[in-house]
Chains A and B, each alone.
Chain A
Amino acid sequence: MLKQMDGSLAVARAVALCRPEVIGAYPITPQTHIVEGIGEMVKAGELENCEFINVESEFAALGVCIGASATGARTYTATASQGLLYMAEAVYNASGLGLPIVMTIGNRSIGAPINIWNDHTDAMSMRDAGWIQLYVETNQKAVDVHIQAFRLAELLSCPVMVCMDGFILTHAYERIDVPEQEQVDRFLPSFEPVQALDPDSPMSIGAMVGPEAFTEVRYLAHHKQLRALELIPAINEEFKNIFGRDSGGLIKTYRAEDAETIVVAMGSVIGTIKDVVDELREEGVKIGVLAIRSFRPFPASCLREALRDAKRIIVIEKSFALGMGGIVSTNLRTALGNSTTPICSVVAGLGGRAITRRSLHNLFRKARKDELRGTYFLDLDCAVVKRELAREREKRRSGSTAENILKDVGVVDAANPF
């Protein structure tokens, strides 16, 4: 059924259609509306046999999911940013225990300086935690991928994060095709746990493991990720057959067949990039887009295949590893092995900075002239950076970097800061 709603409510609806049994809820912008939405539906009696638990922290939210999932319940939670970091220990634990929890990340930057706006730093901090990480480009895809996520998680007994850009998606109103309950029921059977806490057949979950078995346990967790490489496209095919939409899979290309330049990115920025590509195609520039939809597992062979004929790869990434550079591009480089195709890593949109068509046009022009080297920071204000560095050199007690920069860029009146 077509409905006008914001991304968060759309996800709440999608999750409700998946018949979750236990939900751990803790607020953090920009995912709050998701759990609020589900909470209201539970209160209104729209979900059968669902326990909605208002917990005291994200650490507890995932703890509740861990206990419930281990008892055989379908469980869900959502978080972002500081919340994801606050639950970090449990994030690793949930995957180590092989619990098929589904969690939405309303992607947001991580402080300090505290910043509520979108980038991918939060999810990237958990990229090696053993969760599957699916990124969505639109709210329709967010709806569809959540339904697929439960299926995937439970088939593999592995937790899944659905990453959607905070605000850009969570708070954007769009027309959404909300699936029918019967369709979802047909696609998503009830949860059959591979391990469950049950007095009729007791087992110990979470025992201590030493060097004699730890490597094998880890290897098998890796193996699960590799199996997901096959399951993710297969589940998407099945989804297409029932719902008539292609929303998942490992990657998705756009006008990339004959492209010399391929722009690789994840999440909502794909939309803007597509617009720019359309404009450049009008001018005869051979450029295309590749959306990475599954970042974990990383679809290395798919990427190799899709990027085989590219002359140049530009990775636009909304996070980076400090002291190292772009994370997506580093992964990509590894995936491409000894390919000599140049890869430019472009760090963009940090802390919610808009990635505009104009910036992208400039960027792609530079790239075509082979003027991009190493890690490039889109729209970085070099003058501000220089001024701050000079200040630090001059004064031992130069003050807070963030506040100094706000004064420099004129957000705060430097002479009269309060």
Chain B
Amino acid sequence: MSNQQIKFYQTGTLTVGNRLLDKAQRSVQATPDRSNSLDSGHRACQGCGEALGARFAIDAAMRATGNKLIAANATGCLEVFTTPYPESAWRIPWIHSLFGNAPAVATGVAAALKAKGKTDVRVIAQGGDGGTTDIGFGCLSGMFDRNDDVLYICYDNQAYMNTGVQRSSATPPGARTATTMPVGPEPGNDMGTGKFLPVIAMAHGIPYVATASVHDLHDLEHKVTKAMGMRGSRYIQILVPCPLGWGLATHETIKAARLAVECGLWPLFEAENGQITNARKIRRGIPVTEYLKIQKRFAHLMKKGAEERVGMIQAIADENIRKFGLTVHGA
């Protein structure tokens, strides 16, 4: 799949047209023979960005591998809403072991395939941001360090959603979660905290690291496809807004993801062997307040007296724009 950026935006709706592209350029989801690896009927909340991201990512990986794919899943929303026994929404061989060991389990799967000479079958590990940046971080770093042949996908909804929206180390500064309530003079998640795992992944020098977002599914599919064309450890972190945890209207998942990218808080880029190779320029720069104000988790920052904190968040976005070279198109 090429990385031709789709230019057919309908002004105002913020949706992207796919139909006007050449057939070869259309997304995997636009084809009737897509694998539907994550089947309908699972129990995600309405408007769940994680369900959407996973379906697009895994279908793209299936296409790229000729349907020869095995997935290891960390504990979290994606695991719980897809496999309430005896149902399973997965049409691919899939294993869930624990919250913190998905990378190790995937390494084991890859090692077994190698030992058996089944080099055509490929492996994906997946988990939420908590399973990835916190409890599974050691296993993930180990997997990167050994350069095991696994694509790890982190569905980043910026908190522990499955247990009721608690803070993870990917929760953005200022956000309200169940463990960072807006109480007292410095409300929400502490400023200056959190990890941006994509750059930590890059520091391991692995073949491929990318960020993606569910608002640009064409780009997301492209990155997954590209990753599956490589061997060794690869890492993609996808921003997947969570209506429940973010306090978003269920139809605003895609919009929230787009605004996160457009304001600079979620830089879209690719890196190979530790070096950034491509960063997606922002199309229409917007202030962070546009993004913050549609989410209840930032409602306390929209009140009088919180201007300084909003300013700090704007500074983070500005720094991303500078650091990753996201300068607004034409600016």
Contacts and interface: CB of A to CB of B under 8 A. Distances in A.
Contacts of B105: 63-64, 66-67, 70
A66 B97 contact: yes
Interface in A68-126: 68-73, 75, 89-90, 93, 97
A202 interface: yes
Interface residues of A, number: 45
Contacts of B319: none
Interface in B125-171: 138-139, 141-142, 145-146
A65 interface: yes
Contacts of B79: 208
A51 interface: yes
B145 A63 contact: no
A56 B97 contact: no
Interface stretch (B110-118, B195-203, B235-243): B110-118
B184 interface: no
A8 to B, nearest CB: 23
Contacts of A75: 108, 112
A55 interface: yes
Contacts, number: 170
B104 A70 contact: no
Contacts of A24: 104, 108
Contact of A210 (B85, B114, B142, B146): B85
A338 interface: no
B256 interface: no
Contact of A199 (B68, B106, B114): B68
B139 A207 contact: no
A192 B232 CA distance: 29
B67 interface: yes
A206 B69 contact: no
Contacts of A70: 95, 105, 108-109
B107 A67 contact: yes
Nearest to B117: A49
Interface string B279-293: 000000000000000
Question: Interface residue tally of chain B, by bracket?
Answer: 35 or more
A63 B139 contact: yes
Nearest to B123: A67
Given A22-B115, A59-B139, A63-B105, A204 B98 contact: no
A70 B145 CA distance: 23
B244 interface: no
Given A21-B112, A51-B114, A202-B92, A63 B83 contact: no
Contacts of A51: 111-112, 114-115
A204 B104 contact: no
B94 A202 contact: yes
Nearest to A92: B98
Interface of B: 67-70, 72-73, 79-80, 83-88, 90-98, 100-101, 103-117, 121, 138-139, 141-142, 145-146
